[in-house]
């Protein structure tokens, strides 16, 4: 299974559209910057049919120290980014 990097995405868009790679890179990077900016402010980022990015708060929970499995440690509460796939993406991935 191959991973898609930002560079792969930029090259593919540039090849398919005929745009200059640097221009495509600038647009992709700005898009990612604006998504990050919105999430930092606590906003949701919703793209219809694609999915929703949002920040959720995880509760603190008990865990194990990997170096000493008998030792219980508390994993602190923290914020994480959650992505929920949209209807179209779910259908394409699951085939349902």
Neighbours of 10 (CB within 10 A): 20
pLDDT at 52: 96
Task: Look up the domain containing 56 and give its range.
Answer: 44-96
Do 57 and 94 belong to one domain?
A: yes
Residues 52 and 67 in one domain: yes
Whether residues 51 and 89 share a domain: the answer is: yes
Could you tell me if 64 and 24 lie in one domain?
no
Residues 24-47: tens digit of each pLDDT: 999 999 999 999 999 999 999 999
Same domain? For 88 and 52 the reply is yes
How many structural domains are present in the chain? 2
DSSP run (H or E) holding 85: strand 78-85
Whether residues 21 and 5 fall in one domain:
yes
pLDDT band at 51 (very low <50, low <70, confident <90, very high): very high
Do residues 14 and 37 share a domain?
Answer: yes
Do 94 and 82 lie in one domain? The reply is: yes
Residues 6 or more apart whose Cβ sits within 8 Å of residue 78: 57, 58
């Amino acid at each position: 299974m191959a991973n898609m990097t930002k560079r792969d995405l930029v090259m593919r868009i540039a090849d398919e559209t005929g745009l200059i790679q640097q221009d495509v890179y600038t647009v992709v990077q700005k898009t990612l910057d604006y998504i990050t900016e919105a999430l930092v402010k606590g906003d949701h980022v919703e793209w219809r049919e694609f999915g929703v990015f949002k920040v959720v708060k995880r509760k603190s929970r008990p865990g194990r120290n990997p170096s000493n499995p008998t030792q219980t440690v508390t994993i602190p509460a923290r914020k994480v980014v959650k992505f929920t796939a949209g209807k179209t993406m779910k259908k394409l991935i699951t085939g349902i």
